[in-house]
Structure 1
Amino acid sequence: MGLRDKINNKAEDLTGKAKEAAGDVTGDDQLKNEGKGDQLSAAVKDGAEKVKDAASNIKDKLTGN
């Protein structure tokens, strides 16, 4: 996973946490749920990048790179 992807995913996760907290404090369920969605999206993207990295590592080991 590239550094840019890691930074973007972390930023999306932190934005989601902030939205969720703000929604919780203000009683805004829509904002709270939007924050949870942002966090989930970041987690899915992070997971996909980890799978790509693992596949690349396996390929490298099999090809001797």
Structure 2
Amino acid sequence: MSFGKIVRAALLAIDFEDEDMSPRVLRNTYCRRQLLAGHGREEVSNLLGLASTRTCDRIRATIGAQL
């Protein structure tokens, strides 16, 4: 079973349904929660194993729009 199928099954088990039910949902949720907890974008990017902070910057922009 691929990791994507495992993630999809886990998301369905908690009644989460969206167009995107890939591991990206988990990554973005973790990133968003870490940023909301006050962690810096460089630290979160390192925790996620990302080469740049671009993903964290993009997610941080959505946090500001939601508040």
Q: Which has the higher contact order (CA 8 A, sep 6+)?
A: 1
Which protein has the larger Cα radius of gyration, Structure 1 or Structure 2? 1
